């Protein structure tokens, strides 16, 4: 099992054409540009022989590149990558690891009460992914939690039911059904059903790191923390689609290797653009009493909705506008299975774009007074998105440029779709009231 001891655990197999080398570097940067296929592994730095073990695994699996999660006393702390391990010396690997750990930190936690945790999984047509996720939950270092699965198919899925029953003797798991399609609807049902102090969300295309529950609970020992988000790192980097997603920004989009606190008083207009690196809905945990005091997840946003994304971003914005405190804690780690083909990746990124456009439309319609703040940010957004020498564009390949252009067009489409849906909703409501 990955992350259960000092030895590194290889997470990938298969092969692909090997590409040119670059040196080791902190993962998440734009330098992950070659090296397919990657060995994706993790190791604890207490193991003095970690480099030798890495060499042996590379030889056994035919890997060329490396994506490595570094642990300190079992706690996920930093990541490094290189694109040709054979051309990288042992000293270079050790220096890269030392530099990455020097930039990393873990939040101190607190001395508050130990909160109970419900793991919420909203699933739609991925029974095999659900099994892999359950397997990862069985190996948690902290096993005190319950699991709630929300089946979002129109008719209850016999396959999902079978998976839940398969694990029922080993996990405290129960099943709920939300027939109305859309991740936001499924999330809202989960909030109704949750019975613990903290709701921890994870998707059915992820696996939980062995320290996931432990680190979530440690973060919430600080009674002033309302929401915790963590890193979603790749479970496999086998092909161009996996690589392109990481180059596009992955799920972390510039999030730092150190814990970071977000609060309305410190963000101001930066709450809206560029969006703070507060994490993603696929790896977030919220105090149940807090989430029940905020607006429900927007049913027009999120996977399966007309604007298939952005429901988590809107939630984070509403949370911070309500004066709540969110922390990004990089030691709270999940492993994400990226889309397998470039067509699937393109569809995913277009969905994210439409969701982001829907998010900005929801901001305006929800509180028109936000318009001035958003307009003040528009010049910066245009430069960032369009100028060839901006940080977003100056290292982009032709394929990445194409994906980003499509993503930007999808943002416009998503905003228009959201405005149209809300207008139709108001029109329907007015007809129902009538004279």
For the chain (435 residues), the mean pLDDT of every run of 10, in chain order, is 40 30 41 71 93 89 90 93 89 93 72 87 94 98 97 96 97 98 98 97 97 96 96 94 86 71 79 80 97 97 97 95 95 96 94 95 90 80 66 64 88 96 86 55
| Beta carbons of 46 and 6 less than 8 angstroms apart | yes
Its domain, for residue 55, covers 25-102
Instruction: Identify whether the C-beta of residue 88 lies closer than 8 Å to the C-beta of residue 242.
Output: no
Q: Is residue 14 part of a domain?
A: no
Within a domain: 10: no
pLDDT the model gives residue 390: 52
Cβ atoms of residues 320 and 200 within 8 Å: no
User: For residue 55, with 0-12 CB atoms within 10 Å meaning exposed, 13-18 middle and 19 or more buried, which class applies?
Assistant: middle
Give the other-Cβ count within 10 Å of 288's Cβ. 18
Q: In what order do the strands lie in the sheet with 25-26?
A: 25-26, 75-82, 65-72, 38-44
Pairing of strands 65-72, 75-82: antiparallel
How many other C-beta atoms lie within 10 A of the C-beta of residue 416?
15
Angle of the 342-366 helix axis to the 398-433 helix axis, nearest 10? 40
CA count, 13 A, side-chain hemisphere, 233: 29
Instruction: Report if residue 18 sits inside a domain.
Output: no
Domain match, 333 and 349 both:
no
Judgement on whether residues 214 and 268 belong to the same structural domain of the protein: yes
Specify if 16 maps to a domain. Answer: no
134 and 179 inside one domain: yes
Answer yes or no: do 76 and 121 share one domain.
no
Count up the domains in the chain and report the number.
3
Residues 378, 380, 386, 391: what is their CA dihedral angle, to the nearest 10 degrees? -150
Number of alpha helices (DSSP H) and beta strands (DSSP E) in the chain: 13, 13
In 3-state terms, what secondary structure has residue 37? coil
Helix axes 158-167, 127-138, angle to 10 degrees: 10
DSSP code per residue over 232-280: EEES---SHHHHHHHHHTTTTTT--SS-EEE-HHHHGGGGTSSPP----
Strands 173-177 and 117-123, how do they pair?
A: unpaired
How much is the pLDDT for 108? 60
For residue 69, the cross-strand partners are 42, 79
In a domain, 107, yes or no: no
pLDDT at 8: 43
Q: What CATH number is given to the structural domain containing 186?
A: 3.90.550.10
Cα 406 from Cα 48, distance rounded (Å): 47
Contact between 61 and 13 (Cβ < 8 Å): yes
pLDDT reported for residue 256: 61
Q: How far apart are CA 168 and CA 238, in angstroms?
A: 33
Residues ≥6 apart with Cβ < 8 Å to 94: 51
Examine residue 210 and state whether it is found in any structural domain, yes or no. yes
Residues 254, 225, single domain; the answer is yes
Q: Are 62 and 77 part of one and the same domain?
A: yes
Do 148 and 244 lie in one domain? The reply is yes
Query: Of 339, 369, 391, which residue is a domain's last?
Result: 339
Q: Looking at the structure, do residues 145 and 280 belong to the same domain, yes or no?
A: yes
* 218 in the same domain as 334: yes
What pLDDT, on a 0 to 100 scale, did the predictor assign at position 109? 59
pTM: 0.88
C-alpha closest to that of 81 among 148, 22, 144:
22
Report whether 70 contacts 101 (CB < 8 A): yes
Residues 301, 222 share a domain: yes
Whether 385 contacts 274, CB under 8 Å: no
Return the pLDDT at 253. 61
For residue 375, what pLDDT is reported? 83
Work out the burial of residue 422: count CB atoms within 10 Å of its CB; fewer than 13 is exposed, 13-18 middle, 19 or more buried.
Answer: middle
Domain boundary residue, one of 304, 339, 374 = 339
- Whether 310 and 358 have beta carbons less than 8 Å apart is answered as yes
Q: Is residue 9 part of a domain?
A: no
As a whole number of angstroms, the distance between CA 356 and CA 294 comes to 20
Do 219 and 312 have their domain in common? yes
Q: Which residues does 133 contact at the CB level (< 8 Å), separation at least 6?
A: 121, 202, 204, 206, 207, 208
322 inside domain? yes
Is 321 in the same domain as 420? no
Domain end call among 77, 102, 127: 102
Look up tokens 């939950």; give the residue: 137
Neighbours of 20 (CB within 10 A): 10
């Amino acid at each position: 099992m990955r992350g259960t001891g000092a030895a590194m655990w290889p997470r990938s197999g298969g092969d692909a054409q090997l590409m040119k080398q670059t040196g080791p570097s902190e993962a998440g940067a734009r330098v992950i540009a070659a090296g397919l296929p990657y060995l994706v592994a993790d190791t604890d730095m207490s193991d003095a022989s970690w480099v030798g073990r890495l060499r042996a695994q590379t030889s056994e699996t035919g890997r060329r590149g490396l994506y490595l999660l570094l642990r300190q006393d079992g706690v996920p702390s930093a990541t490094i990558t290189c694109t040709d391990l054979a051309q990288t010396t042992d000293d270079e690997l050790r220096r890269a690891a030392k530099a990455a750990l020097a930039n990393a930190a873990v939040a101190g936690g607190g001395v508050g009460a130990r909160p109970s945790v419900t793991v919420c999984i909203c699933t739609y047509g991925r029974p095999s992914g659900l099994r892999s996720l359950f397997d990862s939950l069985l190996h948690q270092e902290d096993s005190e939690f319950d699991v709630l699965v929300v089946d979002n198919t129109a008719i209850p899925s016999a396959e999902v039911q079978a998976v839940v029953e398969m694990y029922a003797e080993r996990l405290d798991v129960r099943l709920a059904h939300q027939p109305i399609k859309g991740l936001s609807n499924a999330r809202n049902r989960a909030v109704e059903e949750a019975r613990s102090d903290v709701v921890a969300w994870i998707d059915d295309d992820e696996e939980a790191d062995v320290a996931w529950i432990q680190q979530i609970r440690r973060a919430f020992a600080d009674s002033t923390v309302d929401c915790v988000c963590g890193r979603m790192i790749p479970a496999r980097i086998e092909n161009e689609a996996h690589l392109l997603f990481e180059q596009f920004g992955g799920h972390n989009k510039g999030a730092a290797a150190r814990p970071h606190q977000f609060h309305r008083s410190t963000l101001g207009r930066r709450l809206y653009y560029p969006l703070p690196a507060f994490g993603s809905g696929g790896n977030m945990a919220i105090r149940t009493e807090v989430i029940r005091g905020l607006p429900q997840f927007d049913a027009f946003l999120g996977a399966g909705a007309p604007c298939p994304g952005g429901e988590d971003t809107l939630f984070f914005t509403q949370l911070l506008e309500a004066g709540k405190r969110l922390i990004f804690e990089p030691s709270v780690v999940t492993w994400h299975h990226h889309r397998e083909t470039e067509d699937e990746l393109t569809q995913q990124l277009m969905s994210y774009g439409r969701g982001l456009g829907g998010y900005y439309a929801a901001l305006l319609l929800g509180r028109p007074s936000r318009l001035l703040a958003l307009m003040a940010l528009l010049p910066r957004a245009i430069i960032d998105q369009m100028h060839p020498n901006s940080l977003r564009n100056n290292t982009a390949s032709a394929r990445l440029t194409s994906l980003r252009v499509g993503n930007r067009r999808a943002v416009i489409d998503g905003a228009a779709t959201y405005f149209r849906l809300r207008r139709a909703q108001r029109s329907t409501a007015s007809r129902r009231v009538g004279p």
